[in-house]
């Protein structure tokens, strides 16, 4: 089997930064325990650090157990069947069609399976495929598919069914959000019922990342084609341990246990048979302030995305287990290269230096995130911390960069050049957090001498505006393998959609090409690090911060295992010990 990259190292600079914040009083002991456990630091090491730093809350050390256990598959245990898991979700649901959707939600992990999946250490392991390997020249990947699999409808799930899905993804008319990542794939061929070949145009070590995402999960394409736009809304045919029941847009999604599920071969699963839970119901909880209350009132069994200011309160509740992990996501600011002076790298660098990212993280998410200085999230296993030498908060340097670019303060302290004021519109959605972030960015750039006019749109209208072209915008991406989405939103050929900032940087395109031509995991990692440095210097977009994700469960919910690079937990092993 082939592993695409190594997992994150324990400690290192990330731990050093965390210890520094603890000593400086910028992070609580409880928060230190949570975050240190999340990056893999052992309990004895955490205890020794806390002892060395002093403080009164010695009992806090016990709270490290919850996130450490929650992230450790060796702690999973056999369960008992029964019950409906009621899970709160922090966003509205999208059409549940892997090939054509704007976002994939946790239901994908109950309804569908991928041919392979990354485990908690980011090693690729079997799911639908039992084994796989590239040819000696790297141009053909062969996957051995499990025998006798079927979809919920009873239709056969064989190599041909998978080939049909993969060939549809690379069809430009299909509208797959993954088409850019699949660019090196030429075709997929079923040699027989259990042998699948993926032919690539050149060596492509990134293929395991591409075929394992939610957007590459296997759907019954025949039913999908028959239903058209209704597929993923009214009917779903996957092969996961749960069957679709209903989707009520803006409210909830419900699935029920598939009684004919043949069992999983994923090595880190405990349950090798059908799911324990009778049903799962995901409810969209739009009001951030009410999410924690619903959980504490036992209206929910589990919750994704409580308000950051509620996390420490939830951690103090003895009836709850809180798991916080660095999200594979990045908040960034896009600057249109064709407007004002944004095509000048000095101007983009000035904007980057004018943003006090740590203040943004502390003020808006109460420390539950990390400042970002490069194009992929600091929580990514492939993160190159050398980017932190660039784009740090330095208002003096920012002003000097603007001066060298020809912009001077006017009478009202707004920068001007050739009679033009540095005034631009910043597009955001109506999301309350995004509006708060825009307000802080507006304030910080005003100190640089830029006039920022914030305008809010609903989500659909915002995307329309981005496609037409705007001065600047705020956006959050989230993706299992973050370098892939970095390519999607910054390569020249992706302008103007979804490279909405219309960045065209030759050196960056070359770095992306090197990444997509990598022949080995080692080459892939080296190309990723190089591309991150180019992005931190050239700034196809301005990174702001990488958020953390909090998952909270009642203590009676067992085997709940969120995995950062999968975005969501699997639900095969989950059970509840409050069932009679």
Task: Map 207-255 to HEC letters.
Answer: HHHHHCCHHHCCCCHHHHHHHHHHECCCECCCCCCEEEEEEECCCEEEE
Joined tokens for residue 310? 């509620």
What gap in Å lies between CA 277 and CA 287, rounded to an integer? 27
26 neighbors 362 (Cβ within 8 angstroms): yes
* H or E segment and range at residue 463: helix 459-468
Q: What is the pLDDT of residue 61?
A: 31
Joined tokens for residue 276? 């324990």
| Reported pTM | 0.82
Q: What percent of the chain has pLDDT over 90?
A: 74
Q: What is the pLDDT of residue 236?
A: 96
Q: What percent of the chain has pLDDT over 70?
A: 88
What gap in Å lies between CA 123 and CA 130, rounded to an integer? 14
What gap in Å lies between CA 54 and CA 63, rounded to an integer? 17
Q: What is the pLDDT of residue 96?
A: 92
Within 8 A by CB and 6+ apart from 248, the residues are: none
What gap in Å lies between CA 132 and CA 161, rounded to an integer? 17
Stretch 189-212: mean pLDDT:
96
pLDDT at 167 over 50: yes
pLDDT at 566 over 60: yes
Cα three-residue angle 187-190-193, rounded to 5 degrees: 160
What is the architecture of the domain spanning 329-547?
A: Roll (3.10)
pLDDT tens-place string over residues 258-293: 999 999 999 999 998 999 999 999 999 988 889 999
Q: What is the pLDDT of residue 175?
A: 83
* Residue with more model confidence, 122 or 544: 544
pLDDT at 46 over 80: no
pLDDT tens-place string over residues 339-377: 999 999 999 999 999 999 999 999 999 999 999 999 999
Give residue 5's pLDDT band: very low, low, confident or very high (50, 70, 90).
very low
- Is beta strand 279-284 parallel, antiparallel or unpaired with respect to 84-89? parallel
What gap in Å lies between CA 117 and CA 123, rounded to an integer? 8
pLDDT at 71 over 70: no
Domain boundaries, the chain: 12-70, 84-281+555-576, 329-547
What gap in Å lies between CA 568 and CA 104, rounded to an integer? 10
Stretch 400-406: mean pLDDT:
98
pLDDT at 309 over 50: yes
Q: What is the pLDDT of residue 8?
A: 34
What gap in Å lies between CA 8 and CA 17, rounded to an integer? 16
Q: What is the pLDDT of residue 430?
A: 87
Neighbours of 560 (CB within 10 A): 24
Q: What is the pLDDT of residue 76?
A: 79
pLDDT at 136 over 90: yes
Stretch 389-397: mean pLDDT:
97
Q: What is the pLDDT of residue 176?
A: 85
pLDDT at 65 over 80: no
What is the architecture of the domain spanning 84-281+555-576?
A: 3-Layer(aba) Sandwich (3.40)
* Residue with more model confidence, 506 or 45: 506
Q: What is the pLDDT of residue 567?
A: 84
Within 8 A by CB and 6+ apart from 393, the residues are: 353, 354, 355, 356, 357, 358, 359
Q: What is the pLDDT of residue 468?
A: 93
pLDDT at 200 over 90: yes
Joined tokens for residue 528? 């990723």
Mean pLDDT of the chain: 89
pLDDT tens-place string over residues 7-45: 333 445 567 667 766 665 555 666 677 567 655 666 666
Q: What is the largest CA-CA distance in the chain?
A: 76
Give residue 188's pLDDT band: very low, low, confident or very high (50, 70, 90).
very high
* Residue with more model confidence, 251 or 41: 251
Distances (CA, A) of 163 to 72, 170, 177, 190: 34, 11, 18, 6
Q: What is the pLDDT of residue 278?
A: 97
Joined tokens for residue 13? 């600079």
What gap in Å lies between CA 119 and CA 79, rounded to an integer? 20
What gap in Å lies between CA 416 and CA 414, rounded to an integer? 6
67 neighbors 38 (Cβ within 8 angstroms): yes
């Amino acid at each position: 089997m082939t592993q695409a990259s190594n997992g994150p190292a324990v400690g290192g600079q990330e731990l050093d930064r965390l210890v520094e914040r603890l000593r400086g009083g910028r992070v609580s002991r409880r928060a230190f325990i949570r975050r240190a456990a999340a990056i893999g630091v052992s309990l004895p090491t955490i205890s020794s650090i806390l002892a060395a730093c002093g403080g009164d809350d010695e009992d806090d050390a016990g709270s490290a157990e919850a996130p450490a256990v929650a992230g450790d598959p060796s702690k999973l245990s056999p369960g008992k069947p029964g019950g409906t898991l009621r899970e709160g979700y922090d966003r509205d649901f999208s059409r549940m069609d892997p090939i054509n959707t704007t976002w994939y939600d946790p239901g994908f992990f109950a309804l569908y399976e991928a041919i392979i999946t990354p485990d908690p250490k980011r090693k690729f392991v079997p799911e639908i495929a039992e084994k796989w390997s590239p040819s000696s020249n790297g141009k053909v990947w062969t996957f051995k598919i499990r025998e006798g699999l079927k979809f919920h409808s009873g239709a056969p799930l064989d190599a041909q069914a998978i080939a049909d899905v993969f060939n549809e993804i690379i069809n430009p008319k299909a509208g797959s959000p993954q088409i850019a990542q699949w660019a090196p794939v030429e075709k997929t061929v079923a040699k027989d019922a259990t042998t699948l070949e993926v032919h690539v145009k050149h060596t492509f070590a990134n293929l395991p990342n591409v075929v394992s995402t939610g957007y590459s999960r296997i759907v019954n394409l025949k039913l999908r084609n028959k239903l058209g736009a209704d597929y993923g809304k009214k009917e779903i045919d996957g092969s996961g341990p749960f069957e679709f029941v209903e989707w009520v847009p803006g409210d909830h999604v419900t699935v029920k246990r598939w009684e004919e599920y043949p069992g999983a071969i994923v090595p880190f699963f405990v349950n090798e048979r059908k799911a324990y839970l009778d049903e799962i119901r995901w409810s969209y909880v739009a009001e951030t302030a009410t999410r924690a209350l619903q959980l504490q009132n036992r209206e929910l069994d589990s919750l994704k995305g409580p308000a950051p200011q509620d996390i420490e309160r939830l951690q103090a509740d003895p009836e709850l287990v809180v798991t916080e992990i660095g999200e594979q996501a990045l908040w960034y600011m896009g600057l249109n290269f064709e407007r004002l002076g944004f095509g000048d790298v000095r101007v983009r660098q000035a904007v980057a230096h004018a943003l006090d990212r740590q203040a943004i993280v502390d003020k808006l998410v109460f420390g539950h995130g990390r400042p970002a200085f490069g194009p992929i999230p600091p929580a990514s296993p492939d993160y190159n911390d050398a980017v932190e030498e660039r784009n740090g908060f330095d208002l003096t340097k920012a002003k000097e960069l603007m001066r060298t670019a020809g912009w001077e303060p006017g009478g009202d302290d707004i920068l001007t050049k050739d009679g033009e004021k540095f005034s631009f519109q910043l597009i955001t959605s109506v999301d309350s957090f995004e509006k708060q972030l825009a307000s802080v960015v507006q304030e910080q750039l005003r100190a640089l001498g830029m006039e920022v006019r914030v305008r809010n749109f609903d989500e659909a209208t915002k995307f329309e505006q981005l496609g037409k072209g705007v001065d600047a915008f705020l956006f959050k991406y989230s993706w299992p393998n973050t370098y892939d989405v970095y390519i999607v939103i910054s390569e020249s050929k992706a302008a103007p959609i979804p490279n909405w900032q219309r960045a065209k940087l030759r050196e960056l395109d070359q770095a992306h090409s090197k990444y997509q031509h990598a022949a080995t995991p080692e080459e892939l990692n080296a190309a990723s690090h190089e591309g991150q440095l180019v992005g931190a210097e050239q700034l196809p977009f301005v990174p702001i911060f990488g958020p953390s994700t909090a998952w909270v469960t009642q203590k009676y919910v067992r085997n709940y295992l969120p995995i950062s690079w999968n975005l969501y937990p699997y639900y095969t092993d989950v059970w509840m010990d409050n069932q009679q």
